[in-house]
Every structure is written in structure tokens, then in C-alpha cells.
């Protein structure tokens, strides 16, 4: 408490009190409080490895900046979202209302991400989505405070549809996916690209998320004998699906395509069953650029693991946050300036430089990759600078 000499007049006391307050204010500015980052990611269930890779990538970038972004030290608050949309609203509101986080980084699962986007939009809290491709997040739900460092479900899927029809000359395809927003949108994107290029999707199969009982549907595929199968699965489910597909002997007769999630971060476990598979994604092994090489070395040194697309997306979420914070000198309350800085930035990603479109989704090259040993090796750029159509985004 400030003590004044007993003989001070009332006016002197007021002047002294004001000076003391100004001192406190100045100190607070010089010593900005830590920036509270809420990490809402899956740390259990089929997407666990994806959540861990995103956190690793995010932390790596922060460490490379000396532990600070925009001059502010970072404090983490973590929530396991379990990839469960039913718990998503409670989980995100804990971060916003109980923990008073300044920014939320999350998540992997599209259904969970949509609940997060709704809460972020209502509260104005900055949200950076480091994976979930839900088209709606940068479509009808787009907002000045919501950004994505990853992809829309449409992007790699649309590119694969074109590759399967134009380059691989496939005519009739069956799709198979988990039945939730990401799977449905991925299949729709593939169908759009495939059918515009002359192919036809003849059957759409699905199992509930995160079910991995594929046998009955594999039997149905074998009987239908399409030219190609397009599948959306990721994490533990992708490992099981690719192994089951090969164990059923289907890999010998019907090529299996997918967005790169089908084989990214999963090749150790998939082994021989994934060899030769073609997928499309905004990251690949063997890009061999100075930027990616440096990232891969730093990641391997920190985590004793090779990075995957999820690690890149986490790393780039921190880069985007850093760009916004630098522009407002750490004052994330300056929302318009924060957003403007990210909107005009070229983000120096390990995947290759990208910028975000009006809807705040990356405009990026989509690579065609081929599984070779334990790598998703770069084959070519399937689609250059692909922007999500951002249908329904009004900003
Ligand atoms: C999604 O739910 O959006 C998603 C999950 C895993 C990989 C890719 C997309």
C-alpha cells in the first residue's frame, strides 16, 4: 500500500497517488504478463499422435523465438478434447471463461473444431486451427478472429480427384470414410475433382467415427470391382484401414488413393501394406528445401522423431500467432491490426511459403506423394496455389 506523510495536503495526496498508479502502469507495460495459450487437442484416442505432433511443432517454433512471441512469454493451458464433439463446447468454454486464455490453438477433429469456432466467434477469442479441415470453419463460420494453419477438407481431396481421373485414368471409384464432417467433406471434394475430370463415384461407403471394423465394407468393395478406391482415415484408424485393405488382397487389384492423412505419421506401423500408395497433401518428404531441411533437423533433435504434416501445422500456427503479435507488440486485444498482419503475411512454412485467403485458410501447393519405405516421397505438385472456395464465408 502507498503511505503518504501525515502532513501532506489533500491535493498533494491526490498528485502522489496518481504518480504511484502511473508507475505501476509503466511497470506493467514493460513487464507484459505471459500470453496464455490454450492448447485444445486430442491427447487420447485414435488422433492422439496427431495432437502430440501439433503441440511439438508449436513449442518448437516458440523455443526458436526464445520462448516468446511478440515479446511475451508463453504460458500453456492444455485440454484433452478426446476428439469428442459432445464435450467440445464445455471444453472450449473452460479455456475461455475459467482459464481466461488469450488465444486457443485447436484442434484435430472437424466436429470438435466447429464447436470451438462457434465459441471463438461469440467470445472474440483468437482461434488458430492447426489441423481440422471442416470446410465450415473458413466457410459460413469464418470470422476476423479465426485462422487456419492447415487445410480445408476440400483441398487435398479435390486435388486427388483430378489426379485419379486425369493422370491415373481411373473411371469408376468407390469412396470409404468415417461418417463425420471431415470424411463427408473429403469425399465431396474428391467427387468434385474426379467427376469434373471425367470419372464417376459409383458408391459411397462409411463407418461411424472412430470405428475400425472394415471387413464387411472391404468385402463389398471386392465384389463391386471399381477402378479405384478413395479413403479418408487418419491416425490409428488409417493404420488399421491400410493394413486391412492389403490383408484382404485388394491392394493388388484396386489402387487405394486418399488425402495424405492416410499415410502421414503412420508408415512405421503400416509397413509393407502402404508401399507404392499415392496420396495428395500440402506436405511431403523429400521437399529438400533449406527451410524444410532446417525444420526437420531441429524437430528430430528436439523430439527424437521425424516430423509429419501435423508437426508442420503446429509449427505454422505458432508462426502465424507470432506474426500477429509482433504487429501489435504483444497486445492481442488489437484484433484488427493482429488480423491484418496475418492477412498480408507470406508464412515461411517448411511446406513452402503460403499466405491466407480472405477466409483465413492457407492458399498452398498440394503435392502428389508416393509411399517409398518410411517416406511419403514428393512426386510432383498436383495443384499449384490451391485456394479453398470458402463457400458461404462473408467477412
Ligand atoms: C478432421 O477431422 O478434420 C481431420 C482429422 C484428421 C486428419 C485430417 C482431418
Instruction: For residue range 124-151, list pLDDT tens digits in order.
Output: 999 999 999 999 999 999 999 999 999 9
Q: What is the pLDDT of residues 271-322, one digit of tens each?
A: 999 999 999 999 999 999 999 999 999 999 999 999 999 999 999 999 999 9
Expressed in angstroms and rounded, the spacing between residue 394 Cα and the centre of ligand 1 is 24
CATH number assigned to the domain with residue range 154-281, chosen from the 4 options 2.120.10.30, 3.40.640.10, 3.40.50.2300, 1.10.3720.10: 3.40.50.2300
Q: What is the pLDDT of residues 334-379, one digit of tens each?
A: 999 999 999 999 999 999 999 999 999 999 999 999 999 999 999 9
Q: Which atom of ligand 1 is nearest to the CA of 108?
A: 5
Give dist(CA 173, CA 175) in Å, integer.
7
Q: Give the C-alpha distances (Å, rounded to integers) separating 55 from 127, 289, 314.
A: 15, 23, 6
Omega into 210 within 30° of 0, i.e. cis? yes
Return the domain boundaries, the chain: 32-151+286-360, 154-281
Q: What is the pLDDT of residues 159-208, one digit of tens each?
A: 999 999 999 999 999 999 999 999 999 999 999 999 999 999 999 999 99
Residues 278 and 257: beta-carbon distance below 8 Å: yes
The protein residue whose alpha carbon is closest to atom 7 in ligand 1 is: 234
Residues 108 and 80: beta-carbon distance below 8 Å: no
User: CB 200: neighbour CB atoms within 10 A?
Assistant: 14
pLDDT at 31: 62
- The mean pLDDT value for 21-45 works out to 73
| Best probe residue, ligand 1, of 47, 132, 177 (max atoms within 8 Å of C-beta) | 132
pLDDT for residue 39 is more than 60 = yes
pLDDT at 25: 42
pLDDT for residue 23 is more than 70 = no
Sign, CA dihedral 95-97-100-103, equals positive
Whole-model pTM: value is: 0.92
pLDDT at 32: 81
Same fold, 32-151+286-360 and 154-281: yes
Expressed in angstroms and rounded, the spacing between residue 276 Cα and the centre of ligand 1 is 23
pLDDT for residue 16 is more than 60 = no
Q: Is the CB of 182 under 6 A from ligand 1?
A: yes
- The mean pLDDT value for 7-19 works out to 44
pLDDT for residue 100 is more than 80 = yes
Computed over every residue of the chain, the mean pLDDT equals: 93
CATH number of 32-151+286-360: 3.40.50.2300
Expressed in angstroms and rounded, the spacing between residue 185 Cα and the centre of ligand 1 is 10
Amino acid at each position: 500500500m502507498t503511505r503518504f506523510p501525515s502532513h501532506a495536503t489533500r491535493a498533494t495526496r491526490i498528485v502522489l497517488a496518481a504518480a504511484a498508479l502511473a508507475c505501476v502502469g509503466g511497470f506493467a507495460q514493460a513487464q507484459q504478463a505471459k500470453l496464455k495459450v490454450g492448447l485444445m487437442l486430442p491427447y487420447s484416442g485414435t488422433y492422439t499422435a496427431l495432437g502430440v505432433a501439433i503441440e511439438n511443432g508449436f513449442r518448437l517454433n516458440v523455443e526458436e523465438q526464445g520462448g516468446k512471441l511478440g515479446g511475451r512469454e508463453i504460458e500453456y493451458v492444455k485440454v484433452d478434447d478426446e476428439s469428442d464433439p459432445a464435450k467440445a463446447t464445455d471444453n472450449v468454454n473452460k479455456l475461455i471463461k475459467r482459464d481466461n486464455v488469450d488465444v486457443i490453438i485447436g484442434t484435430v477433429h472437424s466436429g470438435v473444431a466447429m464447436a470451438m469456432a462457434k465459441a471463438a466467434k461469440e467470445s472474440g477469442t483468437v482461434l488458430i486451427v492447426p489441423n481440422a479441415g471442416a470446410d465450415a470453419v473458413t466457410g459460413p463460420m469464418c470470422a476476423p478472429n479465426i485462422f487456419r494453419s492447415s487445410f480445408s477438407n476440400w483441398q487435398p481431396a479435390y486435388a486427388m480427384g483430378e489426379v485419379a481421373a486425369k493422370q491415373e485414368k481411373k473411371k469408376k471409384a468407390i469412396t470409404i470414410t468415417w461418417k463425420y464432417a471431415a470424411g463427408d467433406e473429403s469425399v465431396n471434394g474428391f467427387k468434385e475433382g474426379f467427376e469434373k475430370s471425367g470419372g464417376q463415384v459409383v458408391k459411397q461407403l462409411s463407418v461411424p467415427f472412430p470405428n475400425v471394423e472394415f471387413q464387411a465394407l472391404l468385402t463389398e468393395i471386392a465384389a463391386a470391382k471399381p477402378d479405384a478406391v478413395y479413403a479418408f482415415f487418419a491416425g490409428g484408424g488409417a493404420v488399421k484401414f491400410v493394413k486391412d485393405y492389403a490383408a484382404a488382397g485388394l491392394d493388388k487389384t484396386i489402387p487405394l488413393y486418399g488425402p495424405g492423412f492416410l499415410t502421414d505419421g503412420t508408415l512405421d506401423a503400416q509397413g509393407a501394406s502402404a508401399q507404392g500408395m499415392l496420396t495428395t497433401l500440402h506436405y511431403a518428404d523429400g521437399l529438400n528445401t533449406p527451410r524444410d531441411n532446417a525444420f526437420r533437423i531441429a524437430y528430430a533433435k528436439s523430439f527424437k522423431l521425424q516430423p509429419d504434416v501435423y508437426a508442420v501445422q503446429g509449427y505454422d500456427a505458432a508462426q502465424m500467432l507470432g506474426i500477429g503479435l509482433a504487429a501489435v507488440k504483444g497486445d492481442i486485444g488489437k484484433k484488427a491490426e493482429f488480423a491484418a498482419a496475418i492477412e498480408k503475411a507470406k508464412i515461411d512454412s517448411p511446406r513452402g511459403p503460403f499466405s491466407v485467403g480472405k477466409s483465413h485458410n492457407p492458399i498452398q501447393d498440394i503435392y502428389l506423394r508416393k509411399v517409398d519405405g518410411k517416406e511419403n516421397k514428393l512426386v510432383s505438385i498436383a495443384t499449384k496455389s490451391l485456394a479453398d472456395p470458402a463457400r458461404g464465408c462473408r467477412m
